[in-house]
Amino acid sequence: MGKTVAEKIIESHLVKGKIEVGSEIAIKIDHTLTQDATGTMVVLEFIAMKLPQVRTELSVSYVDHNLLQTDFKNADDHRFLRTAAAKFGVVFSRPGNGVSHQVHMERFSVPGKTLLGSDSHTPTNGGMCMLAIGAGGLDVAMAMAGEPFYLNMPRIVGVRLLGKLQPWVSAKDVILELLRRQSVKGGVGKIYEYFGPGVADLSSTDRAVIGNMGAELGATTSIFPSDHRTKEFLKSQGRDSAWTEILADPDAKYYEIIEIDLSTLEPMIACPSSPDNVKKVSEIEGLPVNQVIVGSSANSSFRDLMITAKVMEGRHCHPDISFEINPGSNQALLNVASFGGLTNLITGGARIHQSGCLGCIGMGQAPGTGAVSLRTFPRNFLGRSGSFPDSVYLCSPETAVASAIFGKITDPRKLGDYPAVSNPEKYVVNDENLIYPPESGESVEVIMGPNIKPFPEFAPLGDDLEGVIGLKVNDNITTDHIMPAGSKVLPLRSNIPAISEFVFNNVDQDFPGRAKQAGSVFVVAGENYGQGSSREHAAIAPRFLGVRAKFAKSFARIHKANLINFGILPLRFENPEDYDLLKLGDRLKISGIRKSLEQGTDSLEARELSSGKSIRVRLEATPRELKILLAGGLINLAKN
């Protein structure tokens, strides 16, 4: 039987296990990337392993999230990351150089290699035929130490693309259409592999947009073949020697096939407050808009910025609009300037921000009270913008710029002729903002500021597990609900005691105090608990507050792995209706849990102590994950 592209890469990197759906496998990791919001904790975890240097082919530390230096905290973190990179053999991308996954694609991507990143949008590099997976920081730290990455072998879903995109329709509309069909939990346990004649219509940066937002499907990753378009991009970057052709075999078999005819698509938009709340732009156009942002984590390449600039030629944004541009990289901004696009944006009333994530993670650019914000970002979870509540829509650059001109949601097809924009045959390249480490970092001092606190110590699992239900939430709770982003919270990423005060801040501000008073706490949740970001702080900070188990109908992949890594038991209701039996303040006990897990029992009884009622929960974990939970976390296990 023929192989898919994903199977070929997994097979060539397989360290342990068999390529059988659902079974645990371990794969060798070639590249890692970290960013500053998660990277400080990754470095602290790596330091705890007492290794002199990283053991990957390439590891890169990017500063792209906590860019606002409103006090000493972020600046101290940047210095910490720079000196640690020099110490441990990591390339350092300076603040303002660009978004981690975009810069990595431009300057470091290699078809057929594996990439593990502490950013959930690492699958952007699937557009360059890398097996690029977002993961929790501790998993990335382990990969930097030379350890393989463990995951359950995903189902590989084929997405057959037919036809060609029509004018004013672009890659963003493709992934929004897939989200409309599949939902934010439709991709859990899956890799989306794109194939078919329509793939050739998409440039590598188009493919990157689709790979980026594939994370919103809950997918393990997304991947495209390495073909002539891949070679075209690498050549334009002066890196054509990195190209290898990698195509699916003609008789490759997919778990299922989804077919999208690109020629039938029209401009799409995700409405508040979920990336899968997708409608046609034509269905909701006319809604007044207050803010429009192009760029950041998605749609921030040269093409996306240049199409915006071309449309703005001779035009100005509506007086009611705050029109903002977040370049994905300094390279993209430099090339837009070289082609004359920057002048159009400036004279058109756009505010040009530094290259980075910024508003996507709530680091500035918060909308005003009651404002409608259109963004080309990948996420619009409630409150993620930095304002709560908010009203954020996700759309293509074409829809965004049309709406910025007219001051209301507008179908971009009303703008007339579609400007011709292609990626440059040869990009202007400037790598001066990439700092390469010395051959030996032995003499380098890692400088830690006062906000950087040591990693907390956690106890192993006891004989019994008892705790109070400190919070009960519904379906599709995101990591933004659990551990908010924004300019107030993000600078505390290297200070677990301080950041823990904000756990569930947008859900129940009393939770941290209630948890600390109870000592041992459980959280009850519905479906798809923990979707969204890879941020491991959504596991570390609750564990610091005393959260020992989470009861849910189902868990998102990365968050479940993070819970296990930090000793929190992800317990799934055997009967989903038992969710309704539990309420805030109930005290539950699972007797003999340690012995049960040591014996390999995965079905457990949790008894409510006051009423005597009991429910059955299941711990779905591999033997390796059980060892982690028994030890109280992966760091404890590694130390032992």
**What residues act catalytically?**
64-65, 119, 379, 533, 535
Complete edge-to-edge strand list for the sheet that includes strand 434-435: 131-134, 114-117, 31-35, 58-62, 91-93, 434-435
Residue 452 has φ and ψ, to the nearest 5°, of -90, 115
Tokens 């720079």 sit on residue: 82
| Of the candidates 104, 480, 474, the residue with the CA atom closest to the CA atom of residue 275 | 480
The pair of structure tokens assigned to 632 is 């109280």
CA 293 to CA 325: how far, in whole Å? Answer: 6
Distance CA 165, CA 264 (A): 8
Q: Which residues contact 27 (CB under 8 A, 6 or more apart)?
A: 10, 13, 14, 15, 114, 131, 148, 149, 151
CA distance 441 to 458: 31
Distance in angstroms (rounded) separating the CA atoms of residues 363 and 360:
7
CA neighbours closer than 13 Å in the CB half-sphere of residue 368:
8
What is the DSSP code string of 17-42?
A: S-S-TTSEEEE---EEEEEHHHHHHH
Largest pairwise CA distance in the chain: 73
Tokens coding 398: 């074409």
DSSP string for residues in 517-575: HHSSEEEE--SSBTBS---THHHHHHHHHTEEEEEES-B-HHHHHHHHHTT-EEEEESS
Q: Which of 92, 130, 96 is nearest to 111 (CA)?
A: 130
Phi, psi of 607 (to 5 degrees): -110, 130
| Helical (H) or strand (E) element with 105 | helix 100-107
Give residues with Cβ within 8 angstroms of 574, minimum separation 6: 603, 615, 616, 617, 618
590 vs 601: CA distance, rounded Å: 13
> What are the angstrom distances between the C-alpha of 562 and each of 85, 128, 452, 558?
24, 27, 21, 6
CB neighbour class for 378 (10 Å; exposed up to 12, middle 13-18, buried from 19): buried
CA separation for the pair 422, 314 (Å, rounded)? 21
| Helix H or strand E segment including 173 | helix 171-182
